Amino acid sequence: MPIQFKDVFVYDTNPAITLEEVYKLRSNFAGIFDFKFDSLVDDSLDDLSDWSDNRGVWVADGTAVGTATATGVSWDYGELWHDEDTPSSFKIFAYLNENAVDGSCILFRGNGTTQYYLLEINQDDCGFYHYNDGTITTLSKMDPYDIDLTGPGEVELAVWQQEYSEYALDRYLFMSFRFNDRLVLSAKHNLVGGVPDLKWGLGASVGGIGRWDAVRIPDLSQIIVWSSLDPGETPMSSIERAIGDRVVTHFVRGSGELRAFKPKATSVTYTVPSTQQLKEETEEWDSREALSHVRVNYASGAVEAFDEDMLEQYGHRFQEFYNADIYHETEAYEEALAILRRSKEQMRRYTVALRNVGWLLETDDHVLLPSGDHILVDGLQIIVGEAIRTAVQGRKYAYT
Amino acid sequence: MITEQESGLSSAAYAALRDGSGPPQYQYLLQRRNLKFDTEVSGDRLETALFDVASDGTYFYVAVIEENELRVKLFTIATQTWVAGYETAGTSPSPSVGPVFGNAQTLFYVNTDGDVIRATTSDNWATSSDTTWVDISAEGISIYMMGAADSSSVYLAEWLSSYNTRFHYATSGNVVNSDIYWPHKITGMDALHVDAEQGEAYDHDLIVISSILPYQFGLRVKGSEVQTDALERSGMVAFKSRSGMFSDHWIVDQFDDSGSSQYRKYPHLSLITNDYGSDLIACVCYGKDGSSSYNYGASRLYFSADGEGWSLEHVIPTSGYTRGMSLQRVGDYAFLIDPQGCLVSYSTELTGHIADAIQIDISERVSQSGISDTGIRSTKTQLLNAADWKDTSILSSENTFSLTVKLGVYYSGSTHYVTVSREIVDMITRAESSPEKRVNILSRSMASLLTDRVRAPHVRENEAQVLGADNFWDNTGTGYGGLRHTAAIQGYWSTDNNILKLRSNNKIGVAITTFNTSIWSGSIQARVAWASNDNSEYVGLIFREFDEDNYYAVVYEQLTDKIHLTKYRAAQPENIANSPTLSWSLTGVNYMKVVYRYSKVIIYTSHDGENWTYSFSAILPGESTSNYLSPAQVPIEIGGAGYLGKGYSAEDTWEWEWDEGPDPIEPPETPPPSDDGGGGGGSIPGGGGGGEYGSILAAFNFISGTNEIGTFIGRATTLSESTTWIKTHAGLPLTASFDMPPAIHHMDLDPFNPDAAFLVFREFDDLDSTDDFIFYNPDWRNGGTWQGLLRIDVLRNITGQAALNKVSDVSISLAQAGLLYVGVHYTGAYNHIVRIAGYGSNISYSPMLRFSDTQIDLKTFDWGTYPISIACGNVSPNKVWVVGQSNSFGNAPPVGRWVTDDFTALSGPYWEPDVEIDSWIRPVAIINPYRKSSGAYNDDTELYLVDSQRTDDGDSGTVARSTDGGDTYTDWTHTGPDGYVPPEAYRDRAEFPFEVGEAWYYRDYNVIKSFPTSTPTNPTVYTIPGVPTDNDGPVIGWHGRVGWFYIGSRSGPEGTMMMATKDANSGEWTDVTGDAWDYIPYNLFTNPGAYMVRCTPHWTE
């Protein structure tokens, strides 16, 4: 038998970088230090209104405190599941109130009942585990040696999936735990048995206490493999390379803040008073960029998305997109749907002129016109003189 | 939409805006945007980087060390003047460590005892008579730089003998030793306390350092050769710390091609309150950009909100201020200040507040304005230019301007504004169409900073964490499909059944994973297995791999049943640390994991790959100097990670041409290859010796038939066939008083000074009080003059042996530059060790307690009548190993060591006699082999015991090696061949095999033998025949260099000297004696082989 190696895992200590962090780092380089980002979850844990406990006992009043049910079964974790799913690739930022008692956990990529992954943080060790219907598998557990895990402190959990080929043997889930901005532990799991779900929550080990102050999952949580700013390059060019063909809206607000977010269905931001609309209005229908079928090529495959209404109305209008930073089929499919929706939005454009109002609006604000049309703001033209008039340019609000 | 909360208006006013229910209003403000430090208030013109600045709003306090005092100089902010004189805040400060302010009332400094002193004034330093001092000493920490975060937290940088900077966090009475071992000497450091609101949920400290960063290795063409080159990178990095627990770092700025014309140094941090957004962290340093011929030096100002993301630097022309400055903003002014002076600018939006003097309201001049927002908001503003207003306004100056547009409503008796755009002015156009005069301003929002105003001068990359998992799944079924993520570097590899296998039979195999081949800090883990338990196999992981000859290895060795952490440079192993015995030999399959972060390495083991157990940790050597180093000398900090092994394989179907591999890293230009035997210098102690890889020959003689020292010390200036010899004997006693034939016992080259050498005499009798028996020549390579180093009356004085007049043996060992231990055996059955500090400069002698057979009873032996051998590692200068020598094979010699904290006191040193090294060792000498081929000239981790007869097999000599400098008594491992007999085994200068390239060589009378370094234990020994002796005279010395050996021999007391070389591959011995000899050769030395990077190994012949 020759010398042998097996089950290899290698990693560096760089932090995983989300798209939000690319925006932040590149904007900082440009001299912009204030931001307005959205969050999928931003919960100060004053109550448990967006949560449901599956096992154990949980209370919250600014700190979520959970204990497991004393069943005598070591894997019977206390579970507190959030209503919102994560993306496939994400970071969770959570504040560990204290860790004087072992057992604070974060649950992720689970189905909310019988299957999930978890990070368990104890005073002297930590570990990643996979729970599968009564069986707990240790993925990696160790004493981090130099690192004091006694809270309080900031926990950063990065989770993302990578596929080296279309075969299940080449599909991995990676997870990294940082504490106070320092890498503590990374782990892998070969997803031979299928792709796990997207539920996430907080947990407490048996005999331990989960004690969390606040949690946040950024809206732009996708983990970017690489971002660089090359000599002579502008920060925006670097940002756009990280975005790829993703549908993301960004702009710098009048205050100097950078705002970036993934477009999503919103309630009406501003209803234009009928008394304020001037009789200057255009509505334009342009089918040149209509799409009914898109293909998004991602890192290890491609997804196809169709819009039945558009197929019926405009026939088979196809376009192909590439985004090598997307490693997950679901994420790629969501991007394909966003591209179809953006196409639908941009087919119908509006311009309305407003008297004295409208300049508080910003890009992608959802505006209800006196005509009853819903538009998303694309741009503003503000004329300042004796009066202040605002021409609002928008596109159709296409969410249903 | 700008929300009510963001607008800052009342609900009613906001509703009036939103619904258009009031008259519209607007306000346009124009400001200067750039900082212009055009006012200089000169200080004392004290040019020093050792200063810090604090402010209480009334004064700037500038702390400096001057005339052995810690002085605080005051700058009155309101009047922008320096206060005459200074206040004394402390005495006896260390002149090499800069003071740092914790806040305006608290100042930290290091005194000459090395203690950290916190000086506090209850009000301000203008009346410092109320100063109190508290020693918050970090005892035992050798501090060379500090940065204070607040009045109770100071960060310390310690320079370790492992050439690493270790950071510490000190508060009152408490020091937290961080686990950050930074492998460079930093050039600047500051710290700042950051409140929770500033980007984090919890308070933390921010530490910024300037330093060399990991070198980039690459190739360059020189003439017809492709050479390896190391590109220096440097820059500044930031850490966060919570109570001394350091985060991973962020890059503030970095350069891939740094050097004396491209760098950043002396960072100073300050917090700038910001009227327009997040408060800003300012970092000012001094920096240069450019080439050696054309470069530009100036202060560089970086901003950050959270210490993670940093701006492109503002380059502030500050001619003459080259030691870094501190940015302070008070009121309408921004100040750059250091002990040389203070530069003043109006504060602009860049420093968080716009001074009234540089802002004008142009609302009344606006005749028309249009704001367009289709991606980037831009504004065209037309102004009335009546009476040529522009020419007298701030627009007439050459500056950058900003435009703030506020729109609002007149409601309930007042005007309510909301800022709708902050823009930077692109263009200003004056237009006149009589009689109308206008000024048109075109401006764009801050988004223009992203799109075109700012471009990166250097690459700024943020590599997200790269993780790779490899199950070696072969999707081709060929045995090679499983190598999709593996690059074989050496040996024959394939995969089978999801396993990576080394197919080379009993040959070293090296492979790396391709997921990330450029890892600085990271980890690799794997399940490892080996073939046979009795085949001396080893298997493990490598990291920071550059090529097949340069990497770090964490390898389990069957023979020792331990994991060894080993550094390989130019294929030469250098053991760093070892695990305890693992009892793995019989299990066959185990898991190993190595985690490396900066210079710290932690090794874990596991039996299942899931639950990891700490095994051991170690600190990797860093960089010895901040000067430029050749590629062979710089630490390899980034590289690939992978696999290393050697074991049995029945499927070895592929052969590697072992002798034809690519060359390892070799020094490119420093020193330039030549054959002149001199020059160089370099920064490795004793290395850099120039010549053809440092080869210098020396022969010296005594005058046969007389009792005098000879008149000649020879120095060869060329190694070519026409060797020329130059006398180098100035300062030696031409006529000694000794009545016995003198003997130049040996010559030692100073490993810490490549130009210097020692001469040691012995076995002389009837010594006069003024006779020296050790000489030192600080410039021997260029001739120089020999100086007496230890005189007999000094020895008499410190030993108390007034009648001492005979020294029968001398052994020396150099611990550090300027620090020498001398073991002296003399009449009366006594031995002494004398510590000589400051040789070559301010010499001082310290005695250690003498010892005799009654004082050392480690083993029973005839201690007093036999000489001693001593050695010490430079990493532990206060530990001296001593070997007494046996008088026969039957008597085990003593081994012990002295340890002390204070050699100046007789009571200080103590002997550690009650511990035993491994019982199989029967040493005759102990050697710190300064002569290393791997570049680590004065290796501090290896210590060798030359063993004339192993006690475990009765008649076999060998060598025992300690890999931790002898710190652990039981850390001695068997190194070298069984049966090895030191050439001078029964003398006190027993030799250790000479290491060149991949083999060790030793002389065994008239043959040279070699064995490979790759099998250090019980290796196969090969013989190189034909030591060139014309008349069978004795070989008097020999040395090797790259591919060559030099042999000195003589034919009896009156004979001649023959110098010979032998091509290590196939050549014959050649006489290169050169010019005629009129003296009798005694010995032969070459400059130690710091650069003997590779020699085609004989052991394969």
Query: B419 contacts in A (CB within 8 Å)?
Result: 254-255
Please give the pLDDT value at position A102: 84
Q: Is the pLDDT of residue B182 over 90?
A: yes
What does the pLDDT average to over B250-263? 88
Question: Do residue B450 and residue A26 have CB atoms under 8 angstroms apart?
Answer: yes
Question: Do residue B311 and residue A26 have CB atoms under 8 angstroms apart?
Answer: no
Q: Which residue has the tokens 């990493």?
A: B875
**Quick one: pLDDT band at residue B26, thresholds 50, 70, 90?**
very high
Please give the pLDDT value at position B653: 53
Question: Do residue B371 and residue A384 have CB atoms under 8 angstroms apart?
Answer: yes
Closest by Cβ to B304, choosing from A12, A28, A363 = A28
Closest by Cβ to A30, choosing from B242, B450, B515 = B450
Query: B248 contacts in A (CB within 8 Å)?
Result: 13-15, 178, 181-183
How many other β-carbons are positioned within 10 Å of the β-carbon of residue A268? 11
Closest by Cβ to B530, choosing from A3, A172, A384 = A3
Cβ partners under 8 Å of residue B1076, min gap 6: none
Candidates B278, B283, B355; CA nearest to B314 is B283
Question: Do residue B309 and residue A29 have CB atoms under 8 angstroms apart?
Answer: yes
Rounded-to-integer distance, Cα B225 and Cα B1071, Å: 31
Closest by Cβ to A154, choosing from B17, B202, B641 = B202
Helices marked H in chain A: 19-30, 235-243, 308-314, 329-346
Rounded-to-integer distance, Cα A359 and Cα B17, Å: 9
Query: B640 contacts in A (CB within 8 Å)?
Result: none
| Interval B271-320: pLDDT, tens | 999 999 889 999 999 999 998 889 999 999 999 999 999 999 999 998 88
Residue B701 near residue B1082, CB atoms below 8 Å? yes
What does the pLDDT average to over B195-201? 66
CA distance B455 to chain A (A): 5
Helices marked H in B781-856: 792-799
Please give the pLDDT value at position B349: 96
Q: How far is CA A268 from CA A258, B746, B1050, in A?
A: 22, 93, 103
| Interval A189-222: pLDDT, tens | 999 888 899 999 999 988 888 889 899 999 999 9
Please give the pLDDT value at position B1096: 29
Candidates B478, B585, B594; CA nearest to B542 is B594
Residue B546 near residue B665, CB atoms below 8 Å? yes
Helices marked H in B574-697: none
Closest by Cβ to A170, choosing from B473, B500, B501 = B473
Candidates A133, A184, A195, A211; CA nearest to A161 is A195
- B400, burial (CB in 10 Å: exposed 0-12, middle 13-18, buried 19+): middle
Q: Which residue of B has its CA nearest to A145?
A: B614
Question: Which residue of A5, A33, A381 to mutate against B (max B Cβ within 10 Å)?
Answer: A5
What does the pLDDT average to over B217-225? 75
Q: What single-letter DSSP state applies at residue B322?
A: -
CB pairs under 8 A between A and B: 397
Question: Which residue of B460, B611, B613, B644 to mutate against A (max A Cβ within 10 Å)?
Answer: B460
Residue A20 near residue B253, CB atoms below 8 Å? no
Question: Do residue B310 and residue A28 have CB atoms under 8 angstroms apart?
Answer: yes
Query: A225 contacts in B (CB within 8 Å)?
Result: 464, 466
**Which amino acid is located at B406 in the chain?**
K
Residue B617 near residue B606, CB atoms below 8 Å? no
Which residues on neighbouring strands pair with residue B833, listed in sequence order?
Answer: B823
Query: B484 contacts in A (CB within 8 Å)?
Result: 164
Q: Give the pair of three-digit tokens for residue A97.
A: 């109130």
Query: Of A66-70, B17-21, B715-719, B982-986, which has the strongest mean pLDDT?
Result: B17-21
- H/E stretch holding B513 reads strand B509-513
Q: Which residue of B has its CA nearest to A179?
A: B247
CA distance A89 to chain B (A): 13
**Quick one: pLDDT band at residue B1063, thresholds 50, 70, 90?**
very low
**Quick one: pLDDT band at residue B745, thresholds 50, 70, 90?**
low
Q: How far is CA A388 from CA A138, A356, A358, B26, B907, in A?
A: 65, 5, 9, 9, 92
Which residues on neighbouring strands pair with residue A59, listed in sequence order?
Answer: A65
Rounded-to-integer distance, Cα A159 and Cα A117, Å: 10
Question: Do residue B422 and residue A186 have CB atoms under 8 angstroms apart?
Answer: no
**Which amino acid is located at B707 in the chain?**
N
| Interval A287-316: pLDDT, tens | 998 999 999 998 778 999 999 999 999 999
Q: Give the pair of three-digit tokens for residue B218.
A: 């690459």
Residue A69 near residue A79, CB atoms below 8 Å? no
> Is the pTM for the entire model greater than 0.90?
no
Q: How far is CA A246 from CA A110, A376, B461, in A?
A: 26, 18, 21
Prior bond of B95 cis (ω within 30°): no
Question: Do residue B245 and residue A147 have CB atoms under 8 angstroms apart?
Answer: yes
| Interval B575-607: pLDDT, tens | 999 999 888 866 567 899 999 999 999 999 998
Question: Do residue A232 and residue B277 have CB atoms under 8 angstroms apart?
Answer: no
Q: Is the pLDDT of residue B899 over 50?
A: yes
What does the pLDDT average to over A311-323? 94
**Which amino acid is located at B725 in the chain?**
W
Residue B935 near residue B633, CB atoms below 8 Å? yes
Q: Give the pair of three-digit tokens for residue A271.
A: 């209803």
- Helices (H), strands (E): how many in chain B? 4, 76
Closest by Cβ to A17, choosing from B462, B468, B485 = B462
Q: Give the pair of three-digit tokens for residue B406.
A: 């506020």
The CA-based angle B562-B565-B571, given to 5 degrees, is 120
Strands across the sheet containing B295-304: B263-272, B280-290, B295-304, B314-316
Question: Which residue of A7, A10, A162 to mutate against B (max B Cβ within 10 Å)?
Answer: A10
Residue B502 near residue B645, CB atoms below 8 Å? yes
**Which amino acid is located at B632 in the chain?**
A
Rounded-to-integer distance, Cα A58 and Cα A364, Å: 39
Question: Which residue of A33, A259, A272, A365 to mutate against B (max B Cβ within 10 Å)?
Answer: A33
Question: Do residue B200 and residue A31 have CB atoms under 8 angstroms apart?
Answer: no
Q: What is the ipTM of this complex?
A: 0.95
Q: What single-letter DSSP state applies at residue B947?
A: E
Which residues on neighbouring strands pair with residue A92, listed in sequence order?
Answer: A157
Helices A235-243, A19-30: inter-axial angle, 10-degree rounding: 170
**Quick one: pLDDT band at residue B776, thresholds 50, 70, 90?**
confident
Q: Which residue has the tokens 């980890």?
A: B523
Length in residues, chain A: 400
Average pLDDT, chain A: 91
Q: Which residue has the tokens 């490693």?
A: A327
Candidates B347, B367, B371; CA nearest to B357 is B347
Better-predicted residue by pLDDT, B521 or B996: B521
Question: Do residue A5 and residue B526 have CB atoms under 8 angstroms apart?
Answer: yes
Which residues on neighbouring strands pair with residue A305, listed in sequence order?
Answer: A294
Query: A22 contacts in B (CB within 8 Å)?
Result: 462
Q: What is the dihedral of CA B291, B293, B296, B302, to 10 degrees?
A: 20
CA distance B249 to chain A (A): 8
Question: Which residue of A1, A4, A162 to mutate against B (max B Cβ within 10 Å)?
Answer: A4
CA distance B201 to chain A (A): 7
Q: What is the DSSP string of B961-984?
A: EETTTTSSTT-EEEEB-TT---TT
Closest by Cβ to B459, choosing from A22, A158, A231 = A231
Rounded-to-integer distance, Cα B681 and Cα A255, Å: 59
Question: Do residue A251 and residue B26 have CB atoms under 8 angstroms apart?
Answer: no
Q: Which residue has the tokens 């109305």?
A: A313
Q: Is the pLDDT of residue B1062 over 60?
A: no
- H/E stretch holding B792 reads helix B792-799
Closest by Cβ to B457, choosing from A17, A27, A231 = A231
Rounded-to-integer distance, Cα B856 and Cα B916, Å: 12
- B510, burial (CB in 10 Å: exposed 0-12, middle 13-18, buried 19+): buried
Query: B304 contacts in A (CB within 8 Å)?
Result: 28, 33
Query: A1 contacts in B (CB within 8 Å)?
Result: 529-532, 648
| Interval B405-445: pLDDT, tens | 999 999 899 999 999 999 999 999 999 888 889 999 999 99
Query: A257 contacts in B (CB within 8 Å)?
Result: 277
